[in-house]
Structure 1
Amino acid sequence: MRVHPTAYIHPDATVHPSCKIGPNAVIDGPVRIGANCQLGPSVVIMGHTEIAADCSIHSHAVIGDKPQDKKYNGELSFCRIGERCVIRESVTIHRASIELATTKIGNGCYLMTNSHVAHDCHLEDEVTLVSGALLGGHVHVGSNAVISGNVGVHQHVRIGQLAMIGGVSMISQDVPPFTMTDHQGEIIGLNAVGLALKGISPAEQQELKALFKVICRSGMPQRRSLELAAELANTELGRQFVDFFQAETRRGFCRFRRRNSRLQQSILTPLKQQSTCK
C-alpha cells in the first residue's frame, strides 16, 4: 500500500494493500476500502463507509460525513460506494439519516466536480452527475441516468433509468425512465440518443414511443391512459416504463410539455382504434 506520510488512517479502518492514499487524506473510523482504489490529496472518508474495488476519488472529496438533517441524532448509519466509481474534486456524499439505513452509490457511477449526494439517496449503476448537480435526501436515480450541470433535485424524487435531465433546472417531481427534460424541468420526449447508445432495439424504441404518447400526450385521464399502456406493453422495457407510473410516488410527476389539441387528437384517434380492435 502506497500511503503518503501526511495521510491519516484510523486504526479501525480496513484498506486493501493495493490502494494508493494521497497527501493529507483522512480515513477516519471503521472505513473499508477495496482493492486498487486511489485517493487523491485531502480526501476525507468517514464513519461506516464501504468503498468497493477500483474506485478513483479525487482531491477534497468528502464521503460518509454526517447527514445534513436536523432530525439526525447520531444514529448508526452507512454509506456504500460500488465498484469502478469515479468521484471527482470536492464531491460530497453523506451517510444515511435513519438508523441502520444506507446511502448507496452503484457500480460505475461518475460524479463530477462539486456534485452532492445527500443522505439516504440510492444511485443505481452507471449514473452520471455532472458538475454542480445536487441531490436532496432520499432521491432514487435509475441506472444510466444523467443529471446535467447545476441541477437541483428535491427530496424523495425518483428519476428513472436512462433519463436525461436538462442543465440548470429544478426537479421537484418524478422523472419517468427513458425520458428527457428541458431547462424548466418539463418532460419533452424520450431520450432517443441515450436509448440508441445503449443498444436498445428499434422495436423496443417504437414501443416506448407509443407508450409515451399514450401516457404523456393523449390527453386521457391518467388512470385510463395507464390501463391502455399496460395492455400495449409487450417488452420488458415497456413494462418497466408503465410500472414507474403505477408505483407509489411521494412527489407526483414532472409536467409534460403541452401539445396543441389538434396534435393530441391525432395521437389519440389511432390509439383508440388500436384498443378497440383488441
Structure 2
Amino acid sequence: MNQPLAYVHPGAKIAKNVVIEPFTTIHNNVEIGEGTWIGSNVTIMEGARIGKNCTIFPGAVISAVPQDLKFGGEESLAIIGDNTTIRECVTINRGTIASGKTIIGNNCLIMAYAHIAHDCEIGNNAIIVNGVALAGHVKIGNFAVIGGLAAVHQFITIGDHAMISGGSLVRKDVPPYTKAAKEPLSYIGINSVGLRRRGYSTDKIREIQDIYRILYQKNYNTTQALSIIEADLEATSERDEIIQFIRSSSRGIMKGYTGAY
C-alpha cells in the first residue's frame, strides 16, 4: 500500500499487501487483512475488522455508527470475514450495546446498495442481492440468498440455505432449506436447486421435502406438525435443525402458501 491520495489513520492496522485506491478514507481502530483490495471513495470507520482477500468496491461505507436512536456512542465492531465481496455503495453499520458487533461471514457476496444494519449476523457463503435492506438484529444463515430489494424486519432469522424472492417483505422467520415468496411471505417449496449445487443427495432432499410437507401441506398446526415429524421421521441433523429453528423462533415462522396474494 502506497497511495498518497488515500487517507489512512496512523492507528489503523493494515496488512502490507492491502491495496487502497485513491480518495479512500480509513479511520482509527480499523484492521484489514492481507490481500484485500479497497476501491476508490470507500469510507471505513472506527471498529471495522476486515478479513483477508476481501474486495470492497467504490462508495461503500463500512462500520458507520448505527442508525439507532438508542445508540450512545459505545465502542462496537463491524466484522467482515475472509474472501467476502462488498459491491458499490453498500452500507454496513457497526453494532450497539445489545451485541457489540455486526458480523458478516466468509465468502459472502454483498451486492450494490444493500444496507446491513447494527447487530446483524450473516453466515458464510451468503448472497445479499442489490438493494436489500436488513434492519437491526437480523440473522441470516450460511448459503442463504436474499433477492434484490427485499426488506427484512428487525430481529428476523433466516435459516441456512433459504432463498428469499426479490422484492419480498420479510416479517416472519424463514426456516432453513426453504424458498419464500408471495405477499404475505409464504413457503413455496424447498431450495432443491441450491441444495443439489451444494452436494445434497436426492435422498436427503426428499427427506427435507417430507418434513416440510408435514409442516406446511397437511393442515396441521405447528405444534402438531412438529410432534408428527419427531415421532414419524428418522432423527437426522437436518430434521433436528429444522425442529430447533421453529421451536426457538420468537417471531413465528412464515405461513404456508394458500394460492392467494
Specify if TM > 0.5.
yes
Over 3 Å counting, the alpha-carbon distance change for 1:167 and 1:35 in structure 2 is same
Partner of 2:247: 246
Q: Check the 8 A contact 2:40/2:57 in 1, yes or no.
A: yes
Q: 2:62 aligns to what?
A: 63
Q: Is the 8 A contact 2:98 2:119 kept in 1?
A: no
Distance in 1, Cα, partners of 2:148 & 2:54: 22
- Per the alignment, residue 94 of structure 2 pairs with 95
Change (3 A) 1:180 1:188: same
* Secondary structure of residue in 2 paired with 1:196: helix
SS at match of 2:89: coil
Is this contact kept in 2: 1:127–1:144, CA < 8 A?
A: yes
What's 1:208 paired with? 208
Residue 237 (structure 1) aligns with? 238
Residue identity over aligned pairs, in percent, reads 36
- The answer to whether the Cα contact below 8 Å between 2:246 and 2:252 also exists between their aligned partners in 1 is no
Q: 1:254 Cα shift? A: 1.4
AA in 1 matched with 2:64: D
Instruction: Confirm or deny: 8 A CA contact 1:167 1:183 kept in the other structure.
Output: no
2:99, 2:119 within 8 Å by CA — same for their partners in 1? no
**After alignment, is 203-212 or 218-227 more displaced?**
218-227
Query: Does 1:5 find its partner at 2:18?
Result: no
Q: Which amino acid aligns with 1:41?
A: S
Structure 2 unaligned blocks of 5 or more: none
Quote the Cα distance in structure 1 between the aligned partners of 2:156 and 2:247.
Answer: 15
Whole-angstrom CA distance in 2 between matches of 1:15 and 1:183? 45
Greater fraction of residues in helix: 1
Q: Which has the larger radius of gyration?
A: 1
Deviation at 1:115, TM superposition (A): 0.5
Structure 1: gaps (5+ residues): 261-278
In the TM superposition, residue 99 of structure 1 has moved relative to its aligned partner by: 6.0
Distance in 2 of aligned mates of 1:20 and 1:152: 33
Q: 1:26-74: per-residue Cα shift (whole Å, max 9, x none)? A: 1111100000000000111111111010000000100000000000010
Per mean C-alpha deviation after superposition, the further-off stretch among 179-188 and 124-133 is 179-188
* Aligned positions of 1:38-117 closer than 5 A: 38-98=37-97, 101-117=100-116
CA contact (8 A) 1:181 1:188 kept: yes
Q: Which residue of 2 aligns with 1:275?
A: none
Cα offset, 1:169, TM superposition = 1.2
8 Å contact kept, 1:233–1:239: no
Alignment-mate amino acid for residue 196 of structure 1: R
Counterpart of 1:50 in 2: which secondary structure? strand
Kept in 2, the 8 Å contact 1:41–1:60? The answer is yes
Which structure 2 residues correspond to residues 218-229 of structure 1 after superposition, within 5 A?
Answer: 218-229=218-229
Deviation, structure 1 residue 183: 3.9
Residues 87-120 of structure 1 deviation map (CA, whole Å, 9 limit, x = unaligned): 0000000000216611000000000000011000
Name the aligned partner's letter for residue 162 of structure 2.
Answer: A
Task: Identify the residue that residue 190 of structure 2 maps to in structure 1.
Answer: 190
- CA positional deviation for 1:181: 1.1
* Backbone CA RMSD of aligned residues: 1.4
Q: Report Cα offsets for 1:163-201 as digits up to 9, x if no partner.
A: 110011110110111001124221111111111111111
Say if 1:167 and 1:227 are closer, same or farther in 2 by CA, change over 3 A: same
- 8 Å CA contact retained: 1:34, 1:52: yes
C-alpha distance in structure 2 between counterparts of 1:225 and 1:189, whole Å? 16
Tell me the TM-score normalized by structure 1: 0.90
| Cα distance in 2 for residues equivalent to 1:222 and 1:20 | 52
CA-CA distance at 1:221 after TM superposition: 2.3
Task: Give the drift of 1:237.
Answer: 1.6
Moved over 6 A (4+): none
Give the direction of change, closer, same or farther, for the CA distance of 1:28–1:180 in structure 2 (3 Å limit): same
For the residues of structure 2 that align with 1:189 and 1:5, how far apart are their CA atoms?
53
Give the TM-score of the pair, scaled to structure 2: 0.96
Q: Could you tell me which residue of structure 2 aligns to residue 217 of structure 1?
A: 217
- 2:116–2:133: 8 Å Cα contact kept in structure 1? yes
